[in-house]
Chain A
Amino acid sequence: MSAVEPRFAPGARVRVRRADPPGHIRTPWYIRGHSGEIERVCGAFPNPEELAYNRPGLPAQPLYRVRFRQRELWPDYAGAAADTIEVEIYQHWLEPAR
């Protein structure tokens, strides 16, 4: 299976693209535009945005688990400062962040 090389390593700071393309998108709306840290590289998987239309989804996209701080997502977050959320995001939705 042909696959795109991973661009990010665990610990890297990344930002989720703020985009609104049509179709079957598996990047939740609430996380777009937010910055987090790569928790792990999960491997490469056929792109679900292509699979949804019965196309092969290749080359496969690296999939990451990205960790976000709840208080950065929701300014009025009521829980502990240490609370986090981890989301699976494909590489083409990520860009480097500081």
Chain B
Amino acid sequence: MSSDVHTHDPAHDHRHGHAHPPHEEAPERLSYYQVMEIAVRELLIAKNVFTADDVRRAVEAMDARDPAQGARVVARAWTDPAFKARLLADGRAAVRELGYDMATFHLLVVENTATLHNLIVCTLCSCYPRMLLGLPPDWYKSRAYRSRAVREPRAVLKEFGTVLGDDVELRVHDSTADMRYLVLPERPAGTEGWSEERLAALVSRDSMIGVTRCRV
């Protein structure tokens, strides 16, 4: 293994969502729900409902999804008006054309324009279009974001560097049930003639949640 594993910045955000020193000398105490999860998982494995390998493969499949999938959907919508129309009419069917399976969820794609900005939150838990964006960021699951995104959404956006004029309607979508939401950000000016791949590189995870815009 290369030596860079020893020189990486320990404060950076790991896949599992928190910073830690390079060597965990004192593991954190497990929470009640972590203990419960381990107990239930071990019982289901002991009773042959599924195997440890099934669990590992499911985690691997979840980790393999990332926001590049959503970015590909957005870039296609920017370059193909007929696809965009299908995407806005029936998101689940349109993303299936690109090979993405929403399982039982419906997908609502909400389009940002010069006069309308959309923001996604799940105030009850952490509903998120995982099939297209992977696992949600920690802040999306925080109590602070979940309560403030509905109570003072413009202040939240400002903290992400997104300032909206009073002539723009801000529409917050509380993802409380069976729909999942993806924001279709505005295509930045100056990108005329760009390829789909080059455009997709501009589309960040945060822009598809609605906390930022896409920039060149």
Q: Tell me the A residues contacting B by CB distance below 8 Å.
A: 26-28, 30-31, 42-43, 45, 48, 63, 65, 70, 74, 78-80, 82-90
Contact = CB atoms under 8 A, between A and B. Distances in A.
Main secondary structure of the interface of B (DSSP, over half): mixed
Interface of B: 106, 123-124, 150-155, 164, 166-179
Contacts of A27: 176
Contacts of B177: 26, 42, 45, 48, 63, 88-90
Contacts of A80: 164, 166-170
Nearest to B169: A82
A83 B178 contact: no
Contacts of B172: 70, 83-86
A65 B150 contact: no
A79 B124 contact: no
B173 A26 contact: no
A15 to B, nearest CB: 17
A86 B153 contact: no
A26 B176 contact: yes
Contact of A28 (B152, B155, B176): B176
29 contacts: A26-B176, A28-B124, A28-B176, A30-B123, A30-B150, A31-B174, A42-B106, A42-B178, A42-B179, A45-B177, A63-B179, A74-B151, A78-B155, A79-B152, A79-B154, A79-B170, A80-B164, A80-B167, A83-B153, A83-B170, A83-B171, A83-B172, A84-B171, A85-B150, A85-B171, A86-B171, A86-B174, A88-B174, A88-B179
Given A43-B106, A70-B172, A79-B153, 8 more contacts: A42-B179, A65-B179, A80-B164, A80-B166, A83-B169, A83-B172, A84-B172, A89-B176
Contacts of A89: 176-177
Contacts of A78: 152, 154-155
Contacts of B168: 80
A15 B67 CA distance: 37
Contacts of A26: 124, 176-177
Contacts of A48: 177
A96 B109 CA distance: 28
B162 to A, nearest CB: 13
